[in-house]
């Protein structure tokens, strides 16, 4: 039940203590949790940028509606979906699967052809929406890992994706920013931490059929 208790502890942190930094070991645990996220076809069709450079983060702040978490948090994670999923992406995943699981690559050809056919028929804009959705799963795993480590986080959709793309050079990388996650430690001055969680009762969320 520790997960539930830790999720009760977490909240969308509005003010971070800029003097406190996440250790490399804890950051690696968060990265591993993100890496273990389940994804469609196992393609992991996203990339997470760990923005540490303070100058770049200052540039990103105006593109984030001036939210101070972007500059004050220990680390800033930018979750980006692939703009397209190519046959080369699929072949790379199958090669990794073959090497990791000891499966002959030729035995995976049928699965590869199925993926190429299915994904190849999806319009480009739909692919971008699909890969962006994968990042929502990944950010949930990241926030859960943070809560387990008593590290604060604040998922953000409130930012200018075009500006992020320009500042971070995402277009050249074939990426689009979907979500931003500042992580670190709450400031004692953040009054939000003292508010009770507001959640609907179970009978309004769940329906047994």
Asked, for residue 151, whether it belongs to a domain, the answer is yes
Close Cβ partners of 123 (under 8 Å, ≥ 6 residues apart): none
Interatomic CA distance for residues 137 and 149, integer angstroms: 19
pLDDT number for residue 1? 63
Structure tokens given for 78 = 């930018």
Asked, for residue 106, whether it belongs to a domain, the answer is no
Q: What pLDDT digit, counting tens, does each position of 99-154 carry?
A: 999 999 999 999 999 999 999 999 999 999 999 999 999 999 999 999 999 999 99
Domain count for the chain, please give it.
1
Interatomic CA distance for residues 141 and 148, integer angstroms: 11
Structure tokens given for 167 = 């500042």
Residue 48: give the domain boundaries.
Answer: 2-80+123-205
Distances 106 to 8, 89, 90, 94, 198 between C-alpha atoms, Å: 48, 17, 14, 10, 53
Q: Given the structure tokens 């200018």, which residue do they identify?
A: 160
- How confident is the model over 62-77, as a mean pLDDT? 98
pLDDT band at 88 (very low <50, low <70, confident <90, very high): very high
Asked, for residue 108, whether it belongs to a domain, the answer is no
The answer to whether the CB of 14 falls within 8 A of the CB of 72 is: no
Asked, for residue 113, whether it belongs to a domain, the answer is no
Q: Please say if the pLDDT value at position 10 is more than 90.
A: yes
Q: Closest Cα to residue 132, out of 176, 169, 195, 88?
A: 176
3-state percent helix, strand, coil for the chain, nearest multiple of 5: 55, 15, 30
- How confident is the model over 167-183, as a mean pLDDT? 98
pLDDT number for residue 143? 98
Q: Please say if the pLDDT value at position 73 is more than 80.
A: yes
- How confident is the model over 150-179, as a mean pLDDT? 98
- How confident is the model over 29-55, as a mean pLDDT? 97
User: Which CATH number does the domain housing residue 68 bear?
Assistant: 3.40.109.10
User: At residue 167, what are phi and psi to the nearest 5 degrees?
Assistant: -70, -40
The answer to whether the CB of 149 falls within 8 A of the CB of 6 is: no
- Cα dihedral across residues 101, 105, 106, 110: positive or negative: positive
- How confident is the model over 149-171, as a mean pLDDT? 98
Q: Please say if the pLDDT value at position 155 is more than 80.
A: yes
Q: What percent of the chain has pLDDT over 90?
A: 99
Asked, for residue 98, whether it belongs to a domain, the answer is no
Asked, for residue 154, whether it belongs to a domain, the answer is yes
pLDDT number for residue 168? 98
Residue ranges in the chain assigned as alpha helix (H): 2-9, 24-35, 54-60, 69-72, 87-101, 109-120, 124-148, 161-168, 202-205
Asked, for residue 27, whether it belongs to a domain, the answer is yes
pLDDT number for residue 202? 97
pTM given for the model: 0.95
Q: What percent of the chain has pLDDT over 70?
A: 100
Asked, for residue 176, whether it belongs to a domain, the answer is yes
């Amino acid at each position: 039940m520790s997960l539930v208790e830790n999720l009760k502890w977490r909240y969308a942190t509005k003010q971070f203590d800029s003097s406190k930094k996440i250790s490399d070991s804890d950051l690696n645990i968060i990265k591993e949790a993100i890496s273990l996220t389940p994804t469609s076809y196992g393609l992991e069709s996203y990339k997470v940028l760990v923005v540490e450079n303070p100058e770049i983060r200052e540039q990103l702040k105006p593109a984030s509606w001036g939210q101070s978490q972007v500059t004050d948090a220990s680390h800033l994670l930018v979750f980006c979906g692939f703009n397209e999923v190519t046959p080369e992406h699929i072949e790379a995943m199958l090669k990794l699967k073959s090497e990791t699981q000891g499966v002959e690559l030729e035995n995976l050809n049928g699965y590869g052809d199925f993926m190429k056919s299915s994904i190849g028929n999806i319009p480009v804009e739909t692919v971008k929406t699909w890969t962006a959705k994968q990042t929502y799963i990944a950010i949930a795993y990241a926030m859960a890992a943070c809560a387990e480590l008593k590290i604060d986080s604040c998922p953000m959709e409130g930012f200018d994706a075009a500006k992020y793309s320009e500042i971070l050079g995402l277009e050249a990388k074939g990426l689009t920013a979907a979500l931003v996650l500042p992580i670190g430690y709450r400031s004692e001055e953040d009054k939000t931490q003292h508010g009770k969680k507001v959640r609907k009762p179970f009978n309004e969320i769940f329906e047994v059929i």
